[in-house]
Amino acid sequence: MNYIDNLKQDISNLPNGMIFNARVKFMQRICEALLDNHLPRYHFPKFQLSEKEITNYMQQNVTLNESEFETMSQNLEKLDHDLGEFRTYLQTRFGYWATITQDFVEQLTIDFPEQSFLELMAGNGYLSKGLRDLKVETYCTDDRSWAKHDQTGNLLVTDVEKLDALSALNKYGHKVDNVILAWSPDREEIDVRILQRIRELDVNFLVIGEKYGATNSRTFWDKAELVDDVRIKQVNRVYSRYDLVHDQLYLVK
């Protein structure tokens, strides 16, 4: 049983569980888009249940007998847990780490108009695909090292040139306006070497990650100078922060 089917089963196990169906349909549309090698159209809402939703639902079912109420509570807890596994599912099934949606990419091109991009460590190339779909000049690179471990690099959605990050910077760094890096691993310090090299170039360095969290090394965040820029704030309005991971777009110097 796949992830979405499991959520549907969770809903069917709850009295009047269809009140939770809209969010599962939204999640299903995301998965269908990725299966078709498309970006999800819209940034994501929060999928797990809020405390208010849980309280209201349980109050609506207070007429259940003790055994039924206990079963309902357990099934509700399972649904909420399974909703919280969505990010992990997207990462393992599709190699989809940063939450790249069409509206996010559109906003990026609005705030950085008529500019070119180099994506480093692009994985399956979701961000570059979005930019290329909008006819933006984009170089997409990755050394494909993650392809040995999961679907990252195995489910390419656009052409990805096999280059490590530093080689890509040496080849294309002087040709683009922006270098973008999304979800660099938190236990590797390649991002520090990237930062050092970019400081030698005349480019914007755009980073999608969670400061001192799920992405990038601690040394990187220690050394990074984060620029307060209205363009970044505009783009982040349509970047999905839908669970406990608070990643976003940064302009780094």
Distance CA 128, CA 160 (A): 9
- Do 226 and 175 belong together in one domain? yes
- Do 70 and 145 belong together in one domain? no
- Do 106 and 174 belong together in one domain? yes
pTM for the predicted model, two decimal places = 0.94
Q: What is the DSSP string of 122-134?
A: -TT-HHHHHHHHT
- Do 232 and 121 belong together in one domain? yes
> pLDDT (tens digit, 9 = 90+) per residue, 112-137?
999 999 999 999 999 999 999 999 99
| Residue 97, domain member (yes or no) | no
| Residue 56, domain member (yes or no) | yes
Query: Considering its fold, how many domains does the chain have in total?
Result: 2
- Do 175 and 215 belong together in one domain? yes
> pLDDT (tens digit, 9 = 90+) per residue, 153-205?
789 999 999 999 999 999 999 999 999 999 999 999 999 999 999 999 999 99
- Do 110 and 75 belong together in one domain? no
- pLDDT at site 1: 53
- pLDDT at site 145: 82
> Other C-beta atoms within 10 Å of 85: how many?
16
- Tell me the mean pLDDT in the region 22-51: 97
- Do 145 and 199 belong together in one domain? yes
Q: State the greatest distance between any 2 C-alpha atoms of the chain, in Å, as a whole number.
A: 70
pLDDT at 40 over 70: yes
Distance CA 234, CA 110 (A): 9
- Do 16 and 107 belong together in one domain? no
State the residue range of the domain holding 137: 102-252
Which of these ranges, 56-60, 94-98, 153-157, has the smallest mean pLDDT? 153-157
| Residue 44, domain member (yes or no) | no
- pLDDT at site 151: 76
- Do 158 and 197 belong together in one domain? yes
CATH number at residue 133: 3.40.50.150
